[in-house]
Chain A
């Protein structure tokens, strides 16, 4: 800070925003617990079969549907495969598909939201109405029809979920951009001759980035659930993957007597969604501070 004569002095309160946010983040139990859960599953996904006690794909017809024991902590499934190993291995596909789909949706949605929010006009009217129309449809049905049309694979699941999320994220970003556009710094940019692209992506984007990041984590939770649902009905990740959704689909008729064949997979899906949501809440409090 300076006084009227330009003498400089160290301000008491001026700490950098990044450091302040980091401190808040480190103090947030919600964020830490969420990150711990995510880290756990990420490690599982990355190392997969390298860290499982048994081969997740090896069947053993002599030990089918064995209850949890010292040899098989989570028991075995209909083919005698070790459930514990399969739960660990099952993190891999969903942790590739869901984040990629979310990232695609966030990038496309942010770009679209920036354009319609800043340029307004007819483009905005058209896009906004289309988004509203899309929101009236159940997203799983839309995705299902699209996957039925293009054929299902990990890549098409990423694309379809990404496109389905795009309008939702665009809407959030658009409303944030509307507020930013009214601020004087945007007028100042126009007065020095900056074009619309420069104003959108250099001036406004950094200021709506925190919103995009929070929105992305919210969507990630949905995406995990979305992918699991698609896998469950056979349009998501395909066998022989150890995916949790597939496991639940294959074994749900056994729930009465062989609960271990689906409980751990279901719990794994739930814990991942909870972990993501905890991170979302934590990030929100960090950015709001």
Chain B
């Protein structure tokens, strides 16, 4: 590709020097980026990690000079490809944006124009950037699509965006971004909305393209494992400051800022279980960028903080090839562990769960929706038992029927006839409205999105209080119980009079948990309770769930797409695919094998900060639930498909010993032949 040769080829792809960015809100000015310096060299992939509101996306927008209207660069310089971005004229900026930088956003569905065919949208890139016309532009578009491993580019070019899956859409967007062979490719959370197996594929693709095109990459993500896998160097962003930067392996292997240390400790690592002890968490809450001035931004949450940290703000310290913004980088690795008032709750080993008397018994549970006259099996013939005090993890990609199953249990949707749900030996009416108070109390849920789960017009006191009516408590005893509940989820008195919008995501989720526990439930369905939360808050919520379970001996059905989290919390794990149960068994057995090929693929797609050998990748797309494949539903994507038998016969759920069952034609012993990963090095 030919670019303007006047530009020195050895210039850094992106160089940000002492950048300050302000947002004007009303009459106030909020500083969102403070004294930010970073350099992305040619061909380098640079990862930027941080939690919500730390200014990650602001950096991306500043790098293409596309800040929102109220945003203002108040100091510093941005050099893209050696040119000072702020000094460029409008046409020069336009040229730079078409030729030197490309950006891929989080949601591919919104990056593509829904009313134009993919071919039209892609051809436009070549028409604008290279002046190609008609057939030539179309030809180049097809070439680009095949480079992002789209097997049938001509067909995709004729499609509209909505006809493609999320993964395919993101490939198209990446292809468009790479079309001009930009010096710098900015990826802003490119896989956040995708399923784990698709995410793994897209990340593979990005890594391959990076090697092939030799662009520089700015990879923005909240996920440490993803950045660790994808990037040469990483920067950790906190409250608008780059608090640590260096080669990925060093920063994650030997962090020198207490925040990085804390962040790494919060994530449940591969193979870690609740019996290994509580998760670390970072105390306090995320500040909004720019709300802290005059001292270290992390001081309120830092276990190493001294008087000096409260008096002055540390500047960047060069540690030789890496940088940290801390007065005491040498003390970071010895950051004191969080002191836990409760002792580590050790649950009885899962084998001891008395399977003879399950608390919840699900038999032949199915749910068929009618979509345009065709049956859509959201849940198909699921059999499950849940023991008292047990945690059952439910995993699967989106569309696997996890949430549908939860809704059926709760009585929020009605199952097909022939389905049976029993609670403590008694059949449960299918509709919540027909259930008795005792039954309603016994089965509760913690929702995924605390924003929509709490009525925004009610105070916390009212939100929890209304649930206490179910228990039949009124007046003084109700008030007392309310305070007790709030305290048990670590909410203070002050929070009781606040409305949801005044609470952070983590606090809202605590209110949601308090509400679920108001009636003394026996089973709580946790539907991705931490997926909307930041990493540093997630661990505190998981700890809370473990504590509450130990205290109240409640059973959980824990739904999550994060396998490490599921494995951390669950005694048993069930794997769902297209509404069918493919595998169920004790956590350890499901996690370490032998496992169903689908489980294996899910595990392979699961990146860990420490990284482990990638094994198998799924190809193809999740089949349309309206036309479920014959025989084994997984055969269209199965890397270990045997042949005809898989297409014709639905395999039985075969026993693999110790309550572990796998729905596959390949015997368990043979499934286990594939090299299983070594157990995590944790004790």
Q: Which of A53-73 contact B (CB under 8 A)?
A: none
Given the interface pairs A14-B498, A17-B499, A188-B515, the reply to whether A4 lies near B491 with Cβ below 8 Å is no
Q: Which of A2-30 contact B (CB under 8 A)?
A: 2-9, 11-14, 16-17
Given the interface pairs A4-B540, A8-B494, A185-B455, the reply to whether A190 lies near B412 with Cβ below 8 Å is yes
Q: Which of A103-142 contact B (CB under 8 A)?
A: none
Contact, CB under 8 Å: A191 / B285:
no
Given the interface pairs A188-B447, A190-B433, the reply to whether A4 lies near B453 with Cβ below 8 Å is no
Bound Cα distance A164, B134 (Å): 56
Chain B 434-478 per-residue mask, 1 if CB under 8 angstroms from chain A, else 0: 000100100111011100111111100000001101100000000
Contact, CB under 8 Å: B410 / A191:
yes
From B283, B437, B445, A193 is in contact (CB under 8 Å) with: B437
Contact, CB under 8 Å: A3 / B454:
no
Closest to B489 in A: A6
Q: Which of A134-192 contact B (CB under 8 A)?
A: 183-185, 187-192
Min distance, Cβ A173 to any Cβ of chain B, angstroms: 16
Given the interface pairs A1-B504, A3-B283, the reply to whether A184 lies near B447 with Cβ below 8 Å is yes
Given the interface pairs A2-B285, A13-B288, the reply to whether A8 lies near B492 with Cβ below 8 Å is yes
Min distance, Cβ A53 to any Cβ of chain B, angstroms: 45
Residues of B within 8 A of A183 (CB): 452-453
Contact, CB under 8 Å: A184 / B452:
yes
Contact, CB under 8 Å: A4 / B490:
yes
- Any chain A CB within 8 A of the CB of B338? yes
Bound Cα distance A17, B448 (Å): 25
- Any chain A CB within 8 A of the CB of B281? yes
Number of interface residues of B (CB under 8 A): 53
Bound Cα distance A188, B463 (Å): 10
Contact, CB under 8 Å: B502 / A11:
yes
Contact, CB under 8 Å: A192 / B469:
yes
- Any chain A CB within 8 A of the CB of B619? no
Residues of B within 8 A of A215 (CB): none
Bound Cα distance A207, B451 (Å): 14
From B283, B437, B519, A4 is in contact (CB under 8 Å) with: B283
Given the interface pairs A5-B283, A5-B490, A185-B453, the reply to whether A191 lies near B432 with Cβ below 8 Å is yes
Residues of B within 8 A of A207 (CB): 455-457
Bound Cα distance A4, B538 (Å): 10
Residues of A within 8 A of B432 (CB): 190-191, 193
Residues of B within 8 A of A6 (CB): 487, 490-492
- Any chain B CB within 8 A of the CB of A93? no
Residues of B within 8 A of A11 (CB): 502, 504
Min distance, Cβ A59 to any Cβ of chain B, angstroms: 56
Residues of A within 8 A of B456 (CB): 207
Residues of B within 8 A of A187 (CB): 410, 412, 445, 447
Bound Cα distance A194, B458 (Å): 16
- Any chain B CB within 8 A of the CB of A203? yes
Min distance, Cβ B655 to any Cβ of chain A, angstroms: 35
Contact, CB under 8 Å: B437 / A12:
no
- Any chain A CB within 8 A of the CB of B615? no
- Any chain A CB within 8 A of the CB of B291? yes
Residues of A within 8 A of B495 (CB): 2, 8
Residues of B within 8 A of A188 (CB): 445, 447, 453, 467, 515
Given the interface pairs A193-B437, A207-B457, the reply to whether A185 lies near B540 with Cβ below 8 Å is no
Contact, CB under 8 Å: A14 / B412:
no
- Any chain A CB within 8 A of the CB of B13? no
Residues of A within 8 A of B411 (CB): 191
Bound Cα distance A203, B469 (Å): 15
- Any chain A CB within 8 A of the CB of B284? yes
Closest to A14 in B: B502
Min distance, Cβ B259 to any Cβ of chain A, angstroms: 14
Min distance, Cβ A206 to any Cβ of chain B, angstroms: 4
Bound Cα distance A188, B455 (Å): 10
Residues of B within 8 A of A206 (CB): 455, 457-458
Min distance, Cβ A212 to any Cβ of chain B, angstroms: 13
Given the interface pairs A3-B283, A6-B491, A17-B499, the reply to whether A184 lies near B453 with Cβ below 8 Å is yes
Could you list 18 examples of A-B contacts with CB < 8 Å? Answer: A3-B301, A4-B540, A5-B283, A5-B490, A8-B492, A16-B502, A17-B501, A184-B453, A187-B410, A187-B445, A188-B445, A188-B447, A189-B455, A189-B466, A191-B440, A193-B440, A203-B455, A207-B455
8 closest cross-chain pairs (CB), A and B: A206-B457, A3-B284, A184-B453, A14-B502, A3-B283, A6-B490, A4-B540, A184-B447
Question: What residues of chain A have their CB less than 8 Å away from a CB belonging to chain B?
Answer: 1-9, 11-14, 16-17, 183-185, 187-194, 203, 206-207
A sample of 16 more A-B contacts (CB under 8 A), given A185-B452, A188-B445, is A2-B495, A3-B284, A6-B487, A8-B495, A11-B504, A183-B452, A185-B453, A187-B410, A188-B447, A191-B411, A191-B440, A191-B445, A192-B470, A192-B518, A203-B455, A207-B455
